[in-house]
Amino acid sequence: MIDIKLFVRNLIHNKLYFAITVLGFAIALTFVLVLSVYIRQELSVDQFHQNKDRIYRVVDEEGSYWGAVIGSELQSKYPEIECYTRYYNQNYMVEIPHQEKILMQTALIDSSFFRMFSFPLIKGDPATVLLDKNNIVLTRSFAHKVYGSEDILGKEIVINGKHRLIVTGVMEDLPYNTHFGVTEGFVRFDLLADIWEMPRILEENGNSSFGLYLLTYPGTDIVSKKDIILWDFKSTYWKYRDGFSSKLDFEPLSAVYWGGKTSNSKTQGNSKTTLVGLSVIALLILILALINYNNLSIAQTTNRAKEAAIKKLLGINNTTLFWQFVVESLILCTFSFAIALVFSWILMPFFEQIFDTRLFYRDMLTWGNGIIFLLSLLFFGGLVGLVPAWIITRFKPIEVVKGIFKKRMKSVYGNILICFQYVVAIALTIATFTILLQAYYLRNYKLGFDRENVIYLDNVVDPSQKDALRSEMMRIPGVVNLSFCQGSPLDGGNNNSMKVGERSLSWQVFKIDSAFFHVLGLHVEPTGADWGIWINRTAVKELELGEKPQDFQNLAGLKNWRIRGIVDDFHFRDLRHKMGLAYMVPLGKEEYPWKILVKIDRQNPGRTYQEIKDTYIRFIGNDLFDSGFMDQTIDEWYKTEDRAVGMIGYFTVIACMLAIMGILAMSTYFIRQRLKEIGLRRVNGAKVRDVLNMLIWGFLKWVILAFAIAVPITWYLINRWLATYPYHISQQVWVYLGVGVTACLIAILMVGGQSYRAASLNPVKTLRNE
C-alpha cells in the first residue's frame, strides 16, 4: 500500500515541509491535549460522591447563608429529606500538648457529613467519628504535621486555648476535584455555641451565616416542594418575612461548583462560561491545525503529481494510490501526536501556572482514554489526508504532462481556509489586548484608600495583648501606624441587612480602632456628634440624609443610629461589584480583631516587612499566620483576568503561528502554480513592481476580508463581556486598527519575499521550464 523507501526519500527531499507540518500540528495538539486534561478535570468536580444525585445545597439569591435551625425544621416538615449538614469554615489556633500553637483551617459540620459525602476515612468509623461535640477528625497531612503519624486516635487537641477535643478520626486530604476549599480539621457544628459563647445560636435563626446541604431519599423530589417551602419561609423566617431574600433554590451538588453562589464555607468554583470559552478555543485551535496541515499537504500535491502519474502508468489503480496518501498522512499525524504528548508532559508545570491549578495528567492514562486517543488519531490522520489524496487521484497522467493539473489547482479553496485562519487569529489577538487593558484598568483603579505600603497580618493574639503588641510594633523603624480591626478592604467586613424606613438594605460592617482611618488614608468629615458610627457617602446618598446627617432610624423607626462622621467612599470588594453601603463602629476592648494593618514608610519596605514579621513571630511564638502587602493581595483579586490573558494570549500565538504557516505554505504553492503566467506577463512588458503588486494583493485581499469579518463579531462579543463589569474600559479603536495593520504587514512579509523572487526570475527560463 505504501512504498516506505519512497516515503522516506520524499521526507528527506522536503525536510522543511516535513518539519513545518509535523511540528506545527504537534504544537497545536499540545495545547489541545492540555486543555482537554484541564476541561475533563474541571468537569469531574464532585462526581466521585456516591450520593451525588441526592445531595442539594440550599441557596437564595445571594448564596448559602442560613440560620442554624433551618436544616432541622426542613427535615421535620418534609419527609423527602433523609439528613442534613450545616457547613461553616473558620480558622482556629490549636494547641498540641508540648508543642507550639498552630493555625488550623477548620470546618464545623454535622455528624451526617461523612454519610452524605464520600470522603474516605483512614482511621475511624464514619458513623461514629463525630458523635460527641468534643470529637475532631483531622486530615492526613495535618495529622503528620502536628503528630508525625496517622495513629493518633484518642489524642488531645485544644482549640482557642480552652476547648479540649479528642481525635476520633483521620481522613484523606480533600481531593482536588471537590468544591470544598482547603480544610485540615472537621469538628461538630454544636461546638460553635461554645466557641462563640452564644448558646442560643443553635436554637434560633438570627445569625444566617451557615451553609446548608440536604441528602434526600432515593426516588423523592425535594425541588418540587420549592414553592411551598418559599411560601412557608415568607411567614416564618425573618430573611424572607422582612424582605432580605425573595428566592429559594435547591442546587444539585453537580451544580455547586459552577453556580457562582457564595457562602462562608470557603467553597471553590469556576465559571461554565469560562470552560465553554476554553472548549471553543480548543476546538478552534484544532480546526486551525487541521486547516494548516491540509494547506501544507495541498502545497505538496504538485510536487507529488509526477510520482503519482508514473505509478498510474505502471498500473497502480486509484484506490491503492488514494490509500497510500491517507496512510502517509496517518504516519505524519502519529509523529505529531507523539511529539505533542512529550511536549504536554514537559510543559505541564508551565500550563499549571497558566491555569492556576494542579493538572493530574496521570488520571487521563486509562484504557478508555487510550482507545479514544487511538480513534482520534485515526480520524484526524485520515481526515487531513483525504483532500490531497482526492486531488492526486482524480487527475489523468496525461494532464500532468500537459500541465493541465496545475491549472485545475488554481482555486480559491486554500485562500478561503487562510481567510478563516486569519479571522480566528485577529479575533483572539483583539480579545487578548482588550482583556489585558481591562485587567490593567482594574488593577490601577482608584479604590478610595491608600493601598501602598500597608502590611496586613492575621491576628492571633488575645484582645488583652493588643496594647503590648502595638508597643512592640511601633518601635520598629519605618512603622508609621498600626490598626486592629474586624473587617478591612481585603475581606469586606461582615454583612448586615437592616430595614431603613420601608426599605431593606444590605450593609458591610467594619469594627475598627482609632488608627484605622489614618492607616488607610481615608478622609472623614465629622458631623459634630461625639459618639456613634461612621457611614460612607454612598449610604448618605442612598438614604437621602442631606449634607451633614447626625442620625437616621432603622427597623421602621424602632432604633436610632447616631452618625459621628461621613467617610469618603472606598471599595471593600473587587471591582466586579458596585460600591455598596458601609458603616464602621468602634472595636470593643474585649473584641477579637481579625486583622492587623500596619502602615510603613517608603524607605525600605522589604526590610521593614521582615522586621514586622520577626517581631510578630517572637511575640506569638510561631510563624503560622498569613501576612503580606495589601497592594499585592488586591492585585490577586484579578487573577481570573490575568489567567484569561495568559491562556488566550498563548492560544493567540498558536493561532497566529498557524495562520502565518498557512499563508506561507499556500503562497509558496500558488506562486509556483503561476510561474508561467508571471513569465508571460514579464515578456509582454509587465514590470517587476506590477507583478509583485498583483501577487501580494492576491493574498492581502483575503486578510482584509478576514479583518472585516472578525471586527463586528469580536466587537459584539467583547461588549457583552465588558458589560459584566460595573467598572470597565471602552473598546479601543486603535486596538482593532493596530491588529488589522499588523495582520496585513505579516501577510505582506510572508508573501512579499516569494513574490519578489518569482517576479525577478528570467521569464525566458521560466517559460522554457514550463
Q: What is the pLDDT of residue 56?
A: 96
pLDDT in tens, 464-486: 888 999 999 999 999 999 999 98
Cell of residue 543, nine digits: 438614604
For residue 152, the 8-state DSSP code is -
- Which residues lie closer than 8 Å to 574 by C-beta, 6 or more apart? 442, 637, 638
Mean pLDDT of 659-680: 73
Please say if the pLDDT value at position 455 is more than 70.
yes
Query: Which H or E run contains 613?
Result: helix 605-620
Handedness of CA 758, 759, 764, 768 (dihedral sign): positive
Determine if residue 19 is left, alpha or beta; phi over 0 gives left, psi from -120 to 50 gives alpha, anything else beta.
Answer: alpha
Q: What is the mean pLDDT of the chain?
A: 82
3-state secondary structure of 227: helix
Which residue spans within 546-651 are E strands per DSSP? 551-554, 559-567, 581-586, 595-600, 627-629
Mean pLDDT (whole number) for 69-96: 90
| 584: nearest Cα among 573, 574, 570, 596 | 570
Q: Which pLDDT does position 268 carry in this prediction?
A: 78
CA pair distance 392, 405, nearest whole angstrom: 9
Alpha-carbon distance 104 to 163, whole Å? 14
| Cβ 85 vs Cβ 109: under 8 Å | yes
Res. 716: pLDDT tops 90: yes
- Asked if the model's pLDDT at residue 370 lies above 60, the reply is yes
Distance CA 266, CA 487 (A): 17
- How many Å apart are CA 435 and CA 456, to the nearest integer? 29
Q: Grid coordinates in use for 720?
A: 457583552
Residue 556 confidence (pLDDT) above 50: no
Reported pTM: 0.72
The confidence score (pLDDT) of residue 79 equals: 93
The single residue listed with the C-alpha cell 508597643 is 471
Query: Would you say 472 and 497 are in contact if contact means Cβ atoms under 8 Å apart?
Result: no
Give ∠ CA 382-385-391 in degrees, rounded to 5: 140
What residue has cell string 489614618? Answer: 518
Give 428-450 pLDDT, tens digit per residue.
889 889 988 998 898 889 999 99
Give the pLDDT score at 99: 67
Question: Given this model, what pLDDT does residue 761 score?
Answer: 67
pLDDT of res. 559: 57
The predicted pLDDT at position 557 comes to 45
Listed range (211-215, 606-610, 654-658) with the worst mean pLDDT: 654-658
β-strands 595-600, 479-486 pairing:
antiparallel
pLDDT of residue 260: 66
The band of 69, judged by pLDDT with boundaries at 50, 70 and 90, is: very high
Grid coordinates representing 56 are: 442539594
Look up residue 629 and give its three cell numbers. 502587602
On whether the CB atoms of residues 195 and 185 are closer than 8 A, the answer is no
* Measured distance CA(700)–CA(255) in Å, rounded: 47
Least confidently predicted of 174-178, 435-439, 597-601, 659-663 = 659-663
